[in-house]
Amino acid sequence: MNERVKNSVSWWILKEHNLQYPHNAGKDVFIAFFIYYMCLDAMLTAESGIDSDSGRLKWLIRTKNELRQAFEDDALDKSSLSELKRLSPVYDMRPGHLTESVALNDIGNFKEVVDFIYQIRCNFFHGGKSLQENRDIEIVTYAGKFLEKWIKYLVPCGIR
Phi–psi pair at 101, nearest 5 degrees: -145, 165
Phi–psi pair at 11, nearest 5 degrees: -65, -40
Q: What is the pLDDT of residues 34-66, one digit of tens each?
A: 999 999 999 999 999 999 999 999 999 999 999
What does the DSSP 8-state code read for residue 23?
T
Render 90-152 in DSSP notation, one character per residue: EE--STT-TT-EE----TT-HHHHHHHHHHHHHHHHTT---SS-HHHHHHHHHHHHHHHHHHH
Structural domain boundaries, residue 141: 3-154
Statement: residue 126 has pLDDT above 80:
no
Peptide bond into 89 cis (omega under 30): yes
What are the Cα distances from residue 19, in Å, to 12, 27, 41, 113, 118?
11, 8, 21, 28, 25
The residue-averaged pLDDT of 105-121 equals: 96
State the total domains in the chain.
1
Residue 160 falls within a domain, yes or no? no
Statement: residue 135 has pLDDT above 60:
yes
pTM score, two decimals?
Answer: 0.89
Residue 148 falls within a domain, yes or no? yes
Residue 8 falls within a domain, yes or no? yes
Q: What is the pLDDT of residues 68-97, one digit of tens each?
A: 999 988 778 889 999 999 999 998 887 777
Query: What CA–CA distance (Å, rounded) separates 111 from 107?
Result: 10
Residue 72 falls within a domain, yes or no? yes
Residue 159 falls within a domain, yes or no? no
Query: What CA–CA distance (Å, rounded) separates 52 from 75?
Result: 28
